[in-house]
Amino acid sequence: MKIKYLLLAVAMIGLTAFSNANLDETYINSSKIKSSKIQISDGEKLIAKSDCIGCHNKDKKVVGPSYVDIANKYAANDKNINYLSGKIIKGGSGVWGTLPMGAHASLTKDDAKSMVKYILSLKK
């Protein structure tokens, strides 16, 4: 069963790695707001360009926990930002279940911290 989840995660990562989504500018169209720009944080841009969406979603559990669940579990302080950015870079398992999160060794510490700051800003 673990192998199936791992293969599913790898397939999702592979599919999302070839996305051409350009998230530099986003517009909202509604009756009250007419085509106004929304600022997107650096962390959110980095997440959108990475393979994170293969296993994580903003508010729903996929393979790994949702970003909102992570934000609700950890306070936005330097200790947690350093801890979580290290987990992103090195990978790991055991906190959210037995399925391990792969390492993202190509990320810089600053980029990982930006991603974590964005995730922790989603606390409800």
Q: Highest mean pLDDT range out of 10-14, 38-42, 57-61?
A: 57-61
Q: Which domains does the chain have, with CATH numbers?
A: 2-120 (1.10.760.10)
Share of the chain above pLDDT 70, in %: 71
Q: Encode 41-74 in three state secondary structure.
A: CHHHHHHHHCCHHHCECCCCECCCCCHHHHHHHC
Question: Is residue 5 scored above 80 in pLDDT?
Answer: no
The model's pTM is 0.69
Q: Which residues contact 67 (CB under 8 A, 6 or more apart)?
A: 56, 57, 58, 59, 119, 122
Interval 103-115: pLDDT, tens? 999 999 999 999 9
Pairs from 30-35 (Cβ < 8 Å, separation ≥ 24)? none
Question: Is residue 85 scored above 70 in pLDDT?
Answer: yes
Share of the chain above pLDDT 90, in %: 61
